[in-house]
Amino acid sequence: MNPNQVIPPGSVLHFAEQAVHPRRSPWRPLVGLVLGGFAALIVLSLVTLTLQPPLGTVLPGDLASLVTAASGLFLAGVTLTVIVCVLLRLTPGRLVSVTGSFRWRLFGLYALACVPIMALFLIGNVHGIQRTDWILATLVVFAVIPFQVTGEELAFRGAVQQSVSALLPAWRLRLVTAALVSAALFAVVHRPGNAAGLAAFLAFGLVFAAAGYLTGGLEAPLALHLITNLYSLGTPTIQVDNTNLLT
């Protein structure tokens, strides 16, 4: 037992300690982040190059871009997660939950709690529908966004947070630093384009990180992230046929 690791294994906060090991060399989490990040970027690039052209022949431009981006982010997140799990000797279950496996019932409850909020937002924007293929657009959004969100949560709230935690000695320092680093990377990767956008994504990253800590897994941040993206991408998609809006 690490003398600095004082969080009881039964606590939800122990989720932040899954990758911590007193006899594990710090090179493992460092190599996992660098190698995994590089591999994830390669996967993302390959998916974009190979998937975008054929999809563009069967879907409108913005929907083809959305499917390509979501597929690439999902596969990139899985790639980073697998590499980090191997190097840190973690099972994927330990990366997603303090219980060692994804809690589907808990995820369903969190997502269900968010649905009424999203429904109100969508109802308020129904009058803005402009595209003739809005049914197709809605189906595509609801089909691919869960994969995109899963990839991002595995990468940032899973692999990145666990790897950063494994590098630091004191558990309080681990909690704060891992959340800040994962949120900062989450914000930068989204390329917001201005300070306000950067601050917004940083805030989202910190909220998702806090949700994961307080519930002991990725179920809550995944549900929050899913509902947020379904609204933020779904609403403009059914309102406007514009590739740049979703890029």
pLDDT classification of 47: cutoffs 50, 70, 90: very high
Query: Which letter does DSSP use for residue 60 in this model?
Result: -
Burial of 132: CB neighbours in 10 Å, binned 0-12, 13-18, 19+: exposed
**Residue 125 reports pLDDT greater than 80:** no
The 10s digit of each residue's pLDDT in 236-247 is 776 665 544 444
Contact criterion met (CB below 8 Å) for 1 and 14:
no
pLDDT classification of 182: cutoffs 50, 70, 90: very high
Q: Mean pLDDT over residues 225-245, rounded?
A: 71
pLDDT at 246: 47
Q: Mean pLDDT over residues 217-227, rounded?
A: 92
Q: Mean pLDDT over residues 165-185, rounded?
A: 89
Q: Mean pLDDT over residues 57-80, rounded?
A: 91
- Can you name the residues that pair with 97 across neighbouring β-strands? 217
The 10s digit of each residue's pLDDT in 126-169 is 556 667 777 888 888 889 999 999 999 999 999 999 999 888 87
d(CA 1, CA 22): 7
What percent of the chain is modeled with pLDDT above 90?
A: 45
**Residue 11 reports pLDDT greater than 80:** no
Going from N- to C-terminal start, the domains of the chain cover: 24-237
Contact criterion met (CB below 8 Å) for 21 and 187:
no
